Amino acid sequence: MTVLDVPMIQTRGFRNRDGGGGFELRLRLPYYRGVWTNLVEGASVTVDGEHFGADDIAWSIGDDQYTLAELTSSTDARWSVDVPATLHVPRAEPLAIGLHDVDVELRVRMSYIPEELQPTIWSEERRLVITR
Amino acid sequence: MTTHRFDYGVSLYSYTGEFGTTLTLDDCIDDVADLGATGLEILGETHVQEYPEPPTAWVDAWFARLDRLGLTPTCFGAWVDTRRFGDRPMTVEEATNQLATDIRLAARLGFRFMRPKLGVVTSDLEPDPVWVPATERVLDLAAEKDVVICPEIHWPSVIKSKVVDDYLDFIGRTGTQHFGLLMDTGVFQNRRHARHGGPRSRLGEGRAAPPDVPQVPVADLADVLDHVVYIQAKFYEIEDRDGVLRDDYIPWADILDVLRRGGWHGYLSSEYEGDYGVGRAADQIRRQHALLRILDAN
């Protein structure tokens, strides 16, 4: 098992994509159990005030990659508590080397909580570092 | 060593917030054995590697670890996620497959009880009606694997409710020996506990308020005790008050008294759901086990 950072937003994995086109951000599932990915509604990201909508963000979990539509319509894909997800966020220019304020809002649907109280929304902000 | 009437276990749910970050699965299970518990409860989707199909090597290591530590698998936590398909309900076949998957995996790992957490359709947690035909279809499998299916009675459900009546009707109508109630002691809480720390989350868009739930008298437990197969000893905080262990939330003495008078025997499986913090669960579970064993011996 990979031992992960306690916060949802992971220190490791925050980087500009090789070859351009955006950056990557790693999340630990902050829930107490792994989920079928069609319970995930998506995650939106804000970096230094610049907002990236959930629909534009692709995911990878382990070796598998998904668009948001693929992630939320799969009937057998899973996101485990011990396997972090990588968000692939499109952006024309790479993020500058140095500090960035990163805000993430993750939405997951829970079947055992009354519908009027759903989805459950985790939000977290961390200051992370881009090194290259 | 003092004799005791009940068996003591721990649910690995207790280590939520530490599992996968500051504690590995081995660390958690070692802790359960170290504090003197004999029963081990897990959550399938959380603790089984590559759920629902763990590698053979993982299963071998699971049994080797149980042997080494002298632990007995008790309850396997599972979910019937009726909202998986967003715009449509879960079909009977899909719910049946989910239950069958978890019964098989629970049996493969040596568990006697399987708790399905059912999707709900009302604010007082009435389960999605799909549970009835789906559960009927897996009763033969449960009998073959000797696994007892036990949905939990969990706050804000109360014992005198349609939810519980429907479960009891199901037992009466099917005559099954492989379905019972899992009682979560959180239903008897004297006051609400606001959990601090951990990942920050909110429910929905903030339109709805948490339900206003009447306090459940512990005496209500006696009425359904014959059908209670497992007790999740949910707790939030055991205080050290001038060197004396005290729980201001869950009335343990009253609960154990009802169990004792009813001649109930089985597992009290600790489920810590108090404040997050590194090392907190290990200390709190020990306090609870000490408190329960003191009451048990009296």
Tokens of B57: 């090597």
With respect to residue B53, please indicate whether it lies within any of the assigned structural domains. yes
Contact between B199 and A7 using a beta-carbon 8 Å cutoff: yes
- Measured in angstroms, the CA of A19 and the nearest CA of chain B are apart by 32
With respect to residue B55, please indicate whether it lies within any of the assigned structural domains. yes
Q: What's the pLDDT score for residue B209?
A: 64
- Measured in angstroms, the CA of A41 and the nearest CA of chain B are apart by 9
Contact between B20 and A116 using a beta-carbon 8 Å cutoff: no
Interchain contact A74–B (C-beta under 8 A): no
With respect to residue A55, please indicate whether it lies within any of the assigned structural domains. yes
ipTM: 0.94
> Which residue is it, tokens 């609400």?
B192
Q: What is the pairing mode between strands B244-246 and B267-272?
A: unpaired
Interchain contact A94–B (C-beta under 8 A): no
Contact between A116 and B208 using a beta-carbon 8 Å cutoff: yes
With respect to residue A65, please indicate whether it lies within any of the assigned structural domains. yes
How far is Cα B204 from Cα B90, in angstroms, rounded to an integer?
Answer: 21
Share of chain B above pLDDT 70, in %: 97
Residue B44's closest chain A neighbor by CA?
A33
- Work out whether the CA dihedral B284, B286, B287, B292 comes out positive or negative: positive
Tokens of B6: 């009940």
Tokens of B111: 């568990």
Q: What's the pLDDT score for residue B87?
A: 83
> How many folded domains does chain B comprise?
1
Residues facing B209 on adjacent strands: none
Full-model pTM: 0.96
B interface mutation test: which of A33, A68, A75, A120 has the most B CBs within 10 A?
Answer: A33
With respect to residue A4, please indicate whether it lies within any of the assigned structural domains. no
- Measured in angstroms, the CA of A29 and the nearest CA of chain B are apart by 10
Whole-number CA gyration radius for chain A: 14
With respect to residue A56, please indicate whether it lies within any of the assigned structural domains. yes
Residues of B tagged active-site: 154
Q: Decide if A62 contacts A125 (C-beta within 8 A).
A: no
Interchain contact A120–B (C-beta under 8 A): yes
Tokens of B228: 């209670």
- Residue B211 — very low, low, confident or very high, per pLDDT cuts 50/70/90? low
pLDDT tens sequence across B82-118 = 999 988 999 999 999 999 999 999 999 999 999 999 9
**Helical ranges in B4-91 per DSSP H:** 25-34, 44-47, 56-69
- Residue B101 is classified by DSSP as H
Q: Is B206 exposed, middle or buried (0-12, 13-18, 19+ CB in 10 A)?
A: exposed
Q: Decide if B159 contacts B220 (C-beta within 8 A).
A: yes
B interface mutation test: which of A117, A118, A122, A126 has the most B CBs within 10 A?
Answer: A117
Angle at B162 between CA B158 and CA B168, to 5 degrees: 95
With respect to residue B99, please indicate whether it lies within any of the assigned structural domains. yes
Query: Of B239, B241, B79, B209, which Cα lies nearest the Cα of A109?
Result: B79
Q: In which domain, by residue range, is B193 found?
A: 7-198+210-297
Q: Is A41 helix (H, G, I), strand (E, B) or coil?
A: strand
Task: Give the CATH number for residue B88.
Answer: 3.20.20.150
Contact between A111 and B119 using a beta-carbon 8 Å cutoff: yes
- Residue B1 — very low, low, confident or very high, per pLDDT cuts 50/70/90? very low
Q: What's the pLDDT score for residue B150?
A: 98
Q: Decide if B130 contacts B163 (C-beta within 8 A).
A: no
Share of chain A above pLDDT 70, in %: 98
Residues of chain B contacting A38 with CB distance shorter than 8 Å: 84-86
Q: Decide if B190 contacts B156 (C-beta within 8 A).
A: no
Q: What is the mean pLDDT of residues B274-289?
A: 96
Range with the poorest average pLDDT among A85-89, B14-18, B91-95 = B14-18
Q: Is the peptide bond before A119 cis (omega within 30 degrees of 0)?
A: yes
With respect to residue A109, please indicate whether it lies within any of the assigned structural domains. yes
With respect to residue A22, please indicate whether it lies within any of the assigned structural domains. yes
Contact between B79 and A1 using a beta-carbon 8 Å cutoff: no
> How many folded domains does chain A comprise?
1
With respect to residue A9, please indicate whether it lies within any of the assigned structural domains. no
With respect to residue B205, please indicate whether it lies within any of the assigned structural domains. no
Interchain contact A63–B (C-beta under 8 A): no
- Measured in angstroms, the CA of B82 and the nearest CA of chain A are apart by 6
Contact between A82 and B20 using a beta-carbon 8 Å cutoff: yes
Q: Decide if B6 contacts B291 (C-beta within 8 A).
A: no
User: Does A89 score more than 90 pLDDT?
Assistant: yes
The distance in angstroms from the start CA to the end CA of chain A is 27
With respect to residue A10, please indicate whether it lies within any of the assigned structural domains. no
Q: In which domain, by residue range, is A115 found?
A: 15-130
What phi, psi does A84 have (nearest 5°)? -70, 155
Within 10 A of B63 (CB to CB), how many other CB atoms are there?
Answer: 12
Rounded to 10 deg, the angle between the B252-261 and B280-297 helix axes is 50
How far is Cα B117 from Cα B114, in angstroms, rounded to an integer?
Answer: 10
